[in-house]
A and B are shown apart, each in its own frame.
Chain A
Amino acid sequence: MMHPSHAPHAHAATSVSRVMWLVIAALVPATLFSIWLNGWPALLLWLVTVGSAVIAEFFCLRFAQRPAAPVLADGSAVLTGWLLALSLPAWAPWWIGALGSVFAVVVVKQAFGGLGQNLFNPAMMARAMLLIAFPVELTTWMQPAPLFSADALSLSQSFALTFLGQMPSSFDALSGATTLGHIKTELTREISVTQALAGHGQSMSASLFGLHGGSLGETAVLLLAAGGVALIVLRVITWHIPLAVLAGVALPALLLHAHDPARYLDATTHLLSGGLVLGAFFIATDPVTSPGTPRGQLVFGFGVGLLTWLIRTYGGYPEAIAFAVILMNALVPVIDRYVRPRIYGHEKQRRAKPAKGGA
């Protein structure tokens, strides 16, 4: 006899693939802008990174003798590749993207058992690996040369750049550091933050609109934030993690900047640079590698933010979000174990905390 079906006999109009594709959709405007800003090489790099993530996923599923089509259709491999592409310098050679994607999908995700099983965020693990293994390629930033502008590379030049590593001779002068990288360097030369910022000459509006050098997803802060807010409105993600991440960076930055402006960077610059918005809305919110409870997500997010600020301020890597996310990923099982909601009708396990997250 067939087993009877268990209630509920209704289901919300949602699915894993809907969640993934909505996140991807929210990334589209920022991605298009970045590609326009950085020219053809950015598009080529993006194609290579996403493509190799999908291909790697396909071969892993083949190897595990699982049907590939439904898993590929859920969009998680595309999203992993996409996020990685957004965290790479636009003019990085093709093999950086390909290697990162393969590492993310094969080692970080599929080796742990595939979607839902991985402990660490694949895209961020890949970026961290690349940053440590290939520091030069990962920190060579170009001044943006938007498509159709006079400086822009032609398509053939772009192919040569991305796939053959041939740098057009006229572009040597255009390389420039990101804000955070620049300040880091200047600080080591005992130049104060204020002077360094002035010397870098990047305006606030340039940061907001992304008209500066950096990785693909580091630039279009406004578009990324808009996409993130859209995701919150559509209930794909909740507000807890993004808000906590931003707060985790902004609070210490505010306090210490007020204390010593020459030594500590201000909160606004922190928030607008280094891919923080991308990280807060799209990377730290990866459901698989973040806690499952709202309060746990607040703890996790604040931890990511705080670590980001710490690494940026005292550590060696200016783009700290990848490391912060990975470190907090490792803590997720602990957070899920200790930060759990109080079950209805049970007394509070520990002494009652103030209202936050109560009820």
Chain B
Amino acid sequence: MIAVMSLTALGLALGLGLGLAARFLRVEQDDGLASEIEAMLPGSQCGQCGFPGCAPAAAALAAGNAPVTLCPPGGRELVRLLADKLGVEADVSGMKESAPMLAAVAEDLCIGCTKCFRVCPTDAVVGAPKQIHNVLREACTGCGKCVDVCPTMAVSMTPMPVTLQSWTWHKPACAA
């Protein structure tokens, strides 16, 4: 009887303690989190994630309403950083298949309308009015905005080519 009572009392006391701790020691939801995440995002406001821009996407990420894999221009590296930041498991396996995409301008179709380089969030398209435009590989995030605005369908997205310098060994497939 004493044992039952003492255990019950112990349970109640500990439960109370935990409840109080949860109430008083609660970590306030850090409003800075969203802005920190926004700083990590490319900031190109490309909208590929489905949100109107990087700030809303960051807010959704901070609130846990969006997957860390939402940002195609950020690539796997960003997924990893976001997953670390938010303390979640990142499933990069799904993303691995899609190599980073780059915009390419078909020279025979381009009419030099400058629409694409006006929308490019990273100034990756270079050219001048009435001249064929070109894409700087280093600056292109693969957001695809230029594809949408091109009146002659001259811009297309192509996967980033693998070169001898960027080629890496595959992960060994074995049970060991």
Complex alpha-carbon distance, A6 and B173, angstroms? 12
Complex alpha-carbon distance, A343 and B166, angstroms? 28
Complex alpha-carbon distance, A279 and B170, angstroms? 43
Complex alpha-carbon distance, A145 and B169, angstroms? 64
Does any Cβ of A come within 8 Å of B172's Cβ?
yes
Complex alpha-carbon distance, A3 and B169, angstroms? 9
Complex alpha-carbon distance, A3 and B168, angstroms? 11
When distances are taken between beta carbons in the complex, the residues of chain B under 8 Å from A6 are 169, 172
CB contact list, B118-176 vs A, under 8 A:
169-170, 172
> In chain A, what residue has the closest Cβ to B170?
A3
Q: How far is the CB of A285 from chain B (nearest CB, A)?
A: 22
Sorting the interface of chain B by its residue count into under 10, 10 to 19, 20 to 34 or 35 or more gives: under 10
Q: How far is the CB of A107 from chain B (nearest CB, A)?
A: 23
**A-contact 0/1 string along B44-81, CB 8 Å cutoff:** 00000000000000000000000000000000000000
When distances are taken between beta carbons in the complex, the residues of chain A under 8 Å from B170 are 3
Complex alpha-carbon distance, A3 and B173, angstroms? 10
Q: How far is the CB of A138 from chain B (nearest CB, A)?
A: 37
When distances are taken between beta carbons in the complex, the residues of chain B under 8 Å from A3 are 170
Complex alpha-carbon distance, A6 and B172, angstroms? 9
- Interface residue count on the A side (C-beta < 8 Å): 2
Complex alpha-carbon distance, A6 and B170, angstroms? 10
Q: How far is the CB of B155 from chain A (nearest CB, A)?
A: 30
Q: How far is the CB of B100 from chain A (nearest CB, A)?
A: 20
> In chain B, what residue has the closest Cβ to A6?
B169
Q: How far is the CB of B108 from chain A (nearest CB, A)?
A: 32
When distances are taken between beta carbons in the complex, the residues of chain A under 8 Å from B172 are 6
Complex alpha-carbon distance, A3 and B172, angstroms? 10
CB contact list, A293-318 vs B, under 8 A:
none
Q: How far is the CB of A76 from chain B (nearest CB, A)?
A: 15
When distances are taken between beta carbons in the complex, the residues of chain A under 8 Å from B169 are 6
Complex alpha-carbon distance, A3 and B167, angstroms? 12
Complex alpha-carbon distance, A3 and B171, angstroms? 10
> In chain B, what residue has the closest Cβ to A66?
B175
Complex alpha-carbon distance, A3 and B170, angstroms? 8
Q: How far is the CB of A163 from chain B (nearest CB, A)?
A: 40
Q: How far is the CB of B132 from chain A (nearest CB, A)?
A: 35
Q: How far is the CB of A172 from chain B (nearest CB, A)?
A: 49
Complex alpha-carbon distance, A6 and B169, angstroms? 8
Complex alpha-carbon distance, A30 and B169, angstroms? 49
CB contact list, A1-28 vs B, under 8 A:
3, 6
Complex alpha-carbon distance, A131 and B169, angstroms? 52
**A-contact 0/1 string along B66-104, CB 8 Å cutoff:** 000000000000000000000000000000000000000
Q: How far is the CB of A179 from chain B (nearest CB, A)?
A: 44
Q: How far is the CB of B169 from chain A (nearest CB, A)?
A: 6
Q: How far is the CB of A118 from chain B (nearest CB, A)?
A: 16
Complex alpha-carbon distance, A100 and B169, angstroms? 46
Complex alpha-carbon distance, A287 and B136, angstroms? 55
> In chain A, what residue has the closest Cβ to B173?
A3
Q: How far is the CB of B166 from chain A (nearest CB, A)?
A: 16
Q: How far is the CB of B175 from chain A (nearest CB, A)?
A: 9
Complex alpha-carbon distance, A24 and B172, angstroms? 32
Complex alpha-carbon distance, A107 and B163, angstroms? 51
Q: How far is the CB of A61 from chain B (nearest CB, A)?
A: 13
CB contact list, A274-293 vs B, under 8 A:
none
> In chain A, what residue has the closest Cβ to B176?
A116
Q: How far is the CB of A319 from chain B (nearest CB, A)?
A: 36
Complex alpha-carbon distance, A63 and B4, angstroms? 42
Q: How far is the CB of A68 from chain B (nearest CB, A)?
A: 15
> In chain A, what residue has the closest Cβ to B169?
A6
Q: How far is the CB of A8 from chain B (nearest CB, A)?
A: 13
**B-contact 0/1 string along A237-248, CB 8 Å cutoff:** 000000000000
Complex alpha-carbon distance, A6 and B168, angstroms? 12
> In chain A, what residue has the closest Cβ to B172?
A6
Complex alpha-carbon distance, A244 and B140, angstroms? 62
Q: How far is the CB of B161 from chain A (nearest CB, A)?
A: 16
**A-contact 0/1 string along B34-46, CB 8 Å cutoff:** 0000000000000
Complex alpha-carbon distance, A210 and B90, angstroms? 61
Complex alpha-carbon distance, A149 and B55, angstroms? 92
Q: How far is the CB of A272 from chain B (nearest CB, A)?
A: 40
Q: How far is the CB of B170 from chain A (nearest CB, A)?
A: 5
> In chain B, what residue has the closest Cβ to A116?
B176
Can you report 3 A-B residue pairs in the complex whose CB atoms are below 8 A from each other? A3-B170, A6-B169, A6-B172
Sorted from nearest, which 3 A-B pairs have the closest CB atoms? A3-B170, A6-B169, A6-B172
Residues in chain A within 8 A of chain B (CB atoms): 3, 6
